[in-house]
C-alpha cells in the first residue's frame, strides 16, 4: 500500500482499535495528550509503519498551541526515544515494541481523566458505550453484549466482538470467495493486529 504519513492518520484512524481511536479523538479534541497516552499512541503508530520523521511531524502538527521550542524541548526527545533513535536502546539499535493488549489491559494506573489504557477495561461502562456509539457502533444487541462481556471482565472478547460486527460485510465477502478461512480470523490480542486486519479486509473486500 501507499506509505503511511502524518497526514494519513486521520483517515486511517477508522481502522484503529478503540484504545487508539480514543487517543486519536482526544488528541484532536484537546490538541494534546498526556505522557502515557502519547507513549502508547506513538508506539502503536510506529507499529503501523509511520516513520520517525513522519511521527515527529504528526505530533508537531497535532500540538497546535505549542511553539517549536516547547515542542522540541518537551516532546521530541520522547518520540525519538520510543523509536530507539536516542537513549540506551539506540545503542542497541532498537526502541520499545508497541504495546500488546495484555500490556495495556494490565495497566493498573489509569486514573480519572487519562485517556490511555483499554477503554473496555479502564473506562466506565457509560463512557465506553458513548465512545462506541461515537465511532458508529449503534447496534443495541452488540452494545448489550459488550456490557455483558465487560461485566464479566472479558475485555478482549468485547473488543473482538466489536471488530467482527464492524467488519461483518468484509468478513463475509472474503470467506465466501475463499480468500480467507476462519484461521485468518483468530482472536486479536494486539492493537497493531487489529489495525492490520481491518485495513487488509477493506482492501480485499473492495
Sites of contact with ligand SF4 (CB under 6 A): 17-19, 101, 104-105, 118-120, 155-156, 159, 191, 194
Under DSSP, the state recorded for 76 is I
CA angle centred on 201, ends 175 and 186, rounded to 5°: 65
User: Residue-wise over 89-98: b if at least 16 C-beta within 10 A, else e?
Assistant: eeeeeebeeb
Nearer to ligand SF4, 18 or 110 (CB): 18
The CB-of-183 to ligand SF4 minimum distance in angstroms stands at: 20
The CB-of-132 to ligand SF4 minimum distance in angstroms stands at: 11
DSSP codes, 35-48: HHHHHHHHHHHHHH
The CB-of-197 to ligand SF4 minimum distance in angstroms stands at: 11
Nearer to ligand SF4, 17 or 95 (CB): 17
The CB-of-206 to ligand SF4 minimum distance in angstroms stands at: 24
Rounded Cα distance, 18 and 125, in Å: 14
Nearer to ligand SF4, 37 or 119 (CB): 119
Amino acid at each position: 500500500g501507499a506509505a503511511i504519513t502524518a497526514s494519513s492518520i486521520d483517515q486511517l484512524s477508522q481502522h484503529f482499535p478503540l484504545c487508539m481511536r480514543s487517543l486519536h479523538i482526544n488528541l484532536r479534541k484537546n490538541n494534546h495528550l498526556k505522557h502515557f497516552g502519547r507513549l502508547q499512541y506513538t508506539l502503536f503508530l510506529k507499529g503501523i509503519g509511520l516513520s520517525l520523521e513522519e511521527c515527529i511531524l504528526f505530533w508537531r502538527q497535532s500540538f497546535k498551541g505549542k511553539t517549536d521550542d516547547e515542542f522540541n524541548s518537551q516532546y521530541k526527545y520522547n518520540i525519538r526515544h520510543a523509536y530507539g533513535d536516542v537513549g540506551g536502546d539506540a545503542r542497541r539499535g532498537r526502541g520499545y515494541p508497541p504495546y500488546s493488549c495484555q500490556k495495556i489491559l494490565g495497566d493498573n494506573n489509569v486514573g480519572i481523566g487519562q485517556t490511555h489504557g483499554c477503554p473496555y477495561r479502564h473506562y466506565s461502562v457509560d463512557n465506553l458505550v458513548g465512545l462506541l456509539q461515537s465511532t458508529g457502533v449503534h447496534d443495541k444487541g452488540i452494545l448489550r453484549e459488550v456490557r455483558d462481556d465487560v461485566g464479566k471482565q472479558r475485555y478482549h472478547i468485547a473488543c473482538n466482538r466489536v471488530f467482527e460486527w464492524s467488519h461483518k460485510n468484509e468478513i463475509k465477502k472474503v470467506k465466501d470467495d475463499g480468500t480467507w478461512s476462519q484461521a485468518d480470523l483468530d482472536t486479536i490480542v494486539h492493537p497493531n493486529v487489529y489495525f492490520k486486519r481491518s485495513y487488509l479486509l477493506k482492501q480485499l473486500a473492495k
